[in-house]
Structure 1
Amino acid sequence: MDDAYGTLLSSLAIPNDKRIVLLVMDGLGDCDNAGKGTALQIARKPNLDALAARSALGLLVPVAVGVTPGSGPGHLGLFGYDPIVFQVGRGVLSALGIEFALDRRDVAARLNFCTIDSAGKVTDRRAGRIPDEENRRVLAKIRAALKPPDGVEVFFETEAEHRAVLVLRGDGLDDRIGETDPQQTGVPPLEANRPPYNTSQTAHQVADLIRQVKTILAGEPKANMILARGFAKYPDWPTFAERWKVTPAAVAGYPMYRGVARLLGMPVVSRPTTAADVCAEAAKALRDHTFVFAHFKYTDKTGEDGDLAGKVKRIEEMDAAIPALLAAKPDVLIVTGDHSTPPTLKAHSWHPVPVLMAAPHLRGGDGKPFDEISCRSGQIGTILSKELMPLALAHAGKLEKFGA
């Protein structure tokens, strides 16, 4: 598929010393939670509201209207890569996030440990969010008993909590493999080699591996099965620095988001997880980089757990932390999310995501608090996420004029 828009914008990009920060509060967007209001509306956030009052506001559509994005497409759009054109499975992102040395023969997948009942139906898609040490113990048990396919190396690696990475390495492997996560409880996992994936030899190999894992883990009280998704091979894409003529850095605590950064050649300079540390480390990174991607996970995690009060609390933590980032005086500061995660849905959703951009050359500030309702009438309007990066570059003087 043609990347005409991205190619045009990349051809206009020029380097300068202006500094841009993209602060991603993962899963920030919300709906009205059965009349209670969105988490942004409920939260007490004087610093973010004051920033919004002097900034440009708007809404982002991560992929297309009505499309619920995964975290990979959500972030690629924010980075100015059309997620419809640049598609990659989550397995590659997770593998890169844990610094697994992928090569071009590999196929990678993201795994969730899950809990199944005696009938083989999923009762908990995250196995109670087992701790990392339990994850490592269970993977060691799998490695000790698993019999790989002939000519194929199989790697199981811990990511975090209930998440792990599966990598198959061998000649002639493909990524035409069905995801096994049914995305709901009360049903059995899907088959990796179901139609139309039954024409792939690799899919049959994966299905056999999963059957072995089910047997190996049969006695485990929580993590007694795996769910696999995002099967992918390593793509060959232009780097972020090449595309936008900046010196980028990533500040991200969770492996998945470090993986998205590394996929685009963006060095990870720090791994904070708390709001305070994310802002402090982003401020430090600005000293040596002209673009900083800073990621905060917990607004998404609380949304997926259906915890509205927890999501509000995490927003308030970021509000208390953001003055440290403002003190570093970025020339352009964007605060947004990669997608919406309403607590009432306990999942990603299709809702447009609020965005705030503090930058020079605005048409004045929008003078409103930072929430989904205020952002509907902001000067940015409702745009595709892939259009946000060019807008930030333009305000930072990093795009040349197009045409004579």
Structure 2
Amino acid sequence: MKGIILVMDGMGGRPLKEFNNQTTLQAAKTPNMDKMAERGITGLMDPIAPGIIPGSDTAHLSILGYNPYEVYTGRGPFEASGVGVDVIPGDIAFRCNFSTSDEDGIITDRRAGRIRDGTDEIVATLNTMKIEGYEDIQIIFKESTGHRAVLVLRGEGLSGKVSDADPKVEGNKAKEVKALDASPEAEKTADILNKLVAKSYEMIKDHPVNLKRIEEGEAPANIIIPRGAGEVPEVELINDKYEVNSACIAETGLIMGIGRFAGMDIIEMEGVTGGTDTNLENIRDTIIDQVNNSEHDFLLINIDGADEAGHDGDAKEKLKFIEKVDEVVMKEVLKLENSYIFLTADHSTPISVKNHSGDPVPVLINGPEVRVDDVCEYNEYAVAKGGLCRIRGADVMNILTDLMGYAHKFGA
């Protein structure tokens, strides 16, 4: 038997007046997910704990059976590992946005017009950066999908205890990075970052990629905004922890990075963006191929577009994407045999909030000998009546490996 955790990132939501007080998932036409609910057992899940607002990183760690309060040091190391940077102990890693700044330093677009191409050329320029007074510190940039990038600082006397430069909303300057403790290492790292943000603008504002974007009426990616500082953590490999042969199918560097830290094989795909324009056909085909033709018996899958639409506050786009996933991906996943499928979200991203929330998310399990309940729809309201009741993310791997026949008895 194979075990599959399929996470639709940010799928959960809150009722919207424009959808007659339904959530986007409720309002969406999802016959295949509804069929999965009808054939399976359903419930609600708190990714970490009731009312705790999870990041995608801490939620996935919890769902994979790790205690995020113990192993999470910040998002940066997972992002860096996910895009192929070989981080080492002592490195301080950050996730970054390619953003758009005006001449006065005001951030006019945090995602640089959802840039898709040319970021590798911009990164090639940024990787020549040296900060005056800190020439011994190695600065490593690497592009990720879309507007995303990573930054790694390598050298002596650094700390991950620093704040973010991200202003969170357009119309403000990048925030001054500050030390979060009184250590000289944190003060040094904050000073490097503040100089790095300013220097990034000077280095890339006239980059050929940006000049072309301006000429074509698109927002230039002319400044780097780092956030999510973290030191490299150590985690027990998931294959050892649960005696599985695991793989990760994901679009974004963050989730691939979590998979790498957990020791999973990373299955890369063409044409995936982490947005609503992603190639769902490639994701579907990769899932089917891995289930039918690989030796992996446990798969973590993440599909990201609903979260992006939630952050944009675009209800129609989120609904449209959920429906497309149902038609393109779930229609085929529904046909899989000899597999347990755990379908859920890592968190809710309500349209009204434009960010993550602490609302519980819907879950369902399909597979042989599952105790089927009476629920016939897959949404936040219907599954509340399901047989799984209300679980936490930390319960998922225990439930799944028990169904797969991989769990061990506790006690005599």
Common fold by TM > 0.5: yes
Which stretch of the first structure deviates more once superposed, 278-287 or 231-240?
Answer: 278-287
2:245 to 244, 247, 250: 247
Q: Which residue identity is paired with 1:283?
A: I
Q: Which residue identity is paired with 1:334?
A: F
SS in 2 for 1:31: coil
Q: Does 1:32 align with 2:15?
A: yes
Shift in Å at residue 119 of structure 1?
4.2
Residue number in structure 1 paired with 2:283: 278
* Partner Cα distance (1:116, 1:150) in 2: 26
1:341 to 337, 349, 363: 349
Q: Which residue identity is paired with 1:333?
A: I
* Partner Cα distance (2:251, 2:192) in 1: 33
2:335 to 323, 327, 331: 327
Shift in Å at residue 159 of structure 1?
0.9
* Partner Cα distance (1:253, 1:32) in 2: 28
Residue number in structure 2 paired with 1:187: 172
Q: Can you list the C-alpha shifts for 1:79-117, whole angstroms capped at 9, x where unaligned?
A: 111222221322111111111111113211111122234
Q: Does 1:161 align with 2:159?
A: no
Residue number in structure 2 paired with 1:99: 84
Q: Does 1:372 align with 2:380?
A: yes
| 8 A Cα contact 1:53 1:368, kept in partner | yes
| 8 A Cα contact 1:304 1:341, kept in partner | yes
Shift in Å at residue 208 of structure 1?
2.1
Shift in Å at residue 154 of structure 1?
0.6
Q: Which residue identity is paired with 1:102?
A: V
Which stretch of the first structure deviates more once superposed, 379-388 or 241-250?
Answer: 379-388
1:300 to 298, 307, 316: 307
SS in 2 for 1:301: helix
Report matched runs for 1:102-251 at 5 Å: 102-133=87-118, 135-144=119-128, 146-147=130-131, 149-194=134-179, 196=181, 199=184, 200=186, 201-217=188-204, 222-251=220-249
Q: Does 1:56 align with 2:17?
A: no
SS in 2 for 1:403: coil
SS in 2 for 1:51: helix
Q: Does 1:402 align with 2:410?
A: yes
SS in 1 for 2:81: helix
* Partner Cα distance (1:203, 1:366) in 2: 55
Q: Which residue identity is paired with 1:260?
A: I
| 8 A Cα contact 1:60 1:383, kept in partner | yes
Q: Can you list the C-alpha shifts for 1:212-243, whole angstroms capped at 9, x where unaligned?
A: 22333455663232221111122111011011
| 8 A Cα contact 1:69 1:339, kept in partner | yes
Gaps of 5+ in 1: 1-17
| 8 A Cα contact 1:258 1:268, kept in partner | yes
Shift in Å at residue 349 of structure 1?
1.8
Q: Which residue identity is paired with 1:251?
A: I
Q: CA RMSD in A?
A: 2.1
Shift in Å at residue 346 of structure 1?
2.0
Shift in Å at residue 343 of structure 1?
2.2
| 8 A Cα contact 1:338 1:353, kept in partner | yes
* Aligned length in residues: 386
Q: Can you list the C-alpha shifts for 1:357-380, whole angstroms capped at 9, x where unaligned?
A: 113343323332000001212111
* Partner Cα distance (2:317, 2:160) in 1: 37
Q: Can you list the C-alpha shifts for 1:253-297, whole angstroms capped at 9, x where unaligned?
A: 322221111110100123263333323212221231110112211
| 8 A Cα contact 1:276 1:322, kept in partner | no
| 8 A Cα contact 2:112 2:220, kept in partner | yes
2:51 to 66, 77, 87: 66
Q: Which residue identity is paired with 2:98?
A: F
SS in 1 for 2:142: strand
* Partner Cα distance (2:138, 2:89) in 1: 14
Shift in Å at residue 203 of structure 1?
2.3
| 8 A Cα contact 2:43 2:383, kept in partner | yes
Q: Scaled by the length of structure 2, what TM-score is found? A: 0.87
| 8 A Cα contact 1:65 1:350, kept in partner | yes
| 8 A Cα contact 2:34 2:376, kept in partner | yes
Residue number in structure 1 paired with 2:216: none
Q: Does 1:310 align with 2:317?
A: yes
Q: Does 1:77 align with 2:75?
A: no
Shift in Å at residue 186 of structure 1?
2.9
| 8 A Cα contact 1:177 1:192, kept in partner | yes
Give the percent of matched residue pairs that are identical in Structure 1 and Structure 2: 32
Q: In the superposition, relative to structure 1, how do residues 65 and 121 fare at CA in structure 2: closer, same or farther (>3 Å)? A: farther
Shift in Å at residue 303 of structure 1?
1.5
Q: Which residue identity is paired with 2:254?
A: M
Shift in Å at residue 120 of structure 1?
2.9
SS in 2 for 1:132: coil
2:32 to 34, 47, 54: 47
Q: In the superposition, relative to structure 1, how do residues 147 and 172 fare at CA in structure 2: closer, same or farther (>3 Å)? A: closer
Shift in Å at residue 152 of structure 1?
1.2
SS in 2 for 1:84: helix
Gaps of 5+ in 2: 211-218, 273-278
* Partner Cα distance (2:110, 2:183) in 1: 25
